[in-house]
Amino acid sequence: MSGTPPTSAVFTAAVTLKPAQPEHFDLAFTATTQPCPWPKAYGGDLVAQAAAAAMRSVTEGKSLHSMHSYFLRPADIGAEVRYEVEVVRDGRGYSTRQVRGYQNGKPLYVCLAGFAAGEAGAAFDAAFADDVPGPETLPSSAEYLAERDGGSMTKESKAYWSGGRSFDMRHVPGPVYLTVEGERLPHQAVWLRPFDPLRPVDGLTDAQRDLAALAYVCDYTILEPVLRVLDLPWARPGLVTASLDHAMWFHRPGPLGDWLLYVQEAVAADAGRGLGTGRFFTRDHRHLATVVQEGLIRPT
């Protein structure tokens, strides 16, 4: 593995968009998918880039409150994706955008994104998992993998899991990289935070960048509870996974400088698909966002 310290710059590079001439809808941007050791680009690149494109189209001070996405085709790695934004509606309190991603002349991603101005109202937070060990007591991915090898893991995938994903991730119970650590339970938790402070992103406020960061990082581990209960580690030879559809709700803002707890659960698995849910919490128990994702899971 490289001696270069891990950095969060991979994420900020992914969500740095360039304005482009629209061909289909009202606005257009291009973004580049980031390196990864798989045959296709990371799905979180597409979600975060589409979120950034949608947020750059809303000028009335409204904040992103939900996204509903479908992944239509795999995206090439290190290649531009064109995001076309349709201004579906702008109301006083809410706005709606449709975003389509195109690569090689074909649509590969589509989402609807909702924005809200916000208003006074009662508040409620889901229960925080108080029995989860703190992140300081858990090994990082790099520490866990340092002396381990096996399965389909390569030097490149080991380096990527250890430090190539912009975020330090610490699993409870242990990771599912090489084997399923701990019991085959349909739930897990992951502590995460950026490897270093998130850099400014052109065209986004810091609050918008942080929303895009949640959209980016959520996809890395959302299917892991399904893999855990099925006893399918990532490095199992022949395992194929892919994101199919994704929904995310942003409940309240929160800075991403400290650890967040990502509590996840497997809901169902059958017919080559698995469904997982996740909730992001701050260390002081604020519930920031909720995720639901279905993915293809093909053991061989």
Digit-coded pLDDT (tens) for 135-185:
999 999 999 999 999 999 999 999 999 999 999 999 999 999 999 988 899
pLDDT band at 121 (very low <50, low <70, confident <90, very high): confident
Report residue 48 as tokens. 């975060």
Within 10 A of 4 (CB to CB), how many other CB atoms are there?
Answer: 8
Predicted confidence band of residue 1 (pLDDT cuts 50, 70, 90): very low
pLDDT for 164: 96
pLDDT of 256 strictly over 60? yes
For a pLDDT cut of 90, what percent of the chain falls above it? Answer: 90
| pLDDT tens readout for residues 178-209 | 999 888 999 999 999 999 999 999 999 999 99
At residue 3, the pLDDT reads 62
Instruction: Kindly state the DSSP code that residue 199 receives in the 8-state scheme.
Output: P
pTM: 0.96
List the Cα angle 216/64/190 in 5-degree steps. 35
Angle (nearest 5°) at CA 48 between 230 and 11:
90
The residue ranking higher by pLDDT, 34 or 118, is: 34
Angstrom distance (rounded) from CA 36 to CA 156: 8
Per residue in 204-238, pLDDT (tens digit) is 999 999 999 999 999 999 999 999 999 999 999 99
CB 167 within 8 Å of CB 195: yes
Question: CA-to-CA distance for 75 and 189, rounded, in angstroms?
Answer: 28
Within its chain, how far is the Cα of 184 from the centroid?
A: 24
The whole-angstrom separation of Cα 190 and Cα 241 is 20
Lowest mean pLDDT among 57-66, 71-80, 117-126: 117-126
- Looking at per-residue pLDDT, the higher value among 295 and 127 belongs to 295
- Residue 88, C-beta contacts closer than 8 angstroms, at least 6 positions apart: 96, 97, 98, 112
Average pLDDT (46-71) is 96
- Choose among 88, 85, 72: nearest CA to 245: 72
Q: Show Cβ contacts of residue 4 under 8 Å, excluding neighbours closer than 6 positions.
A: none
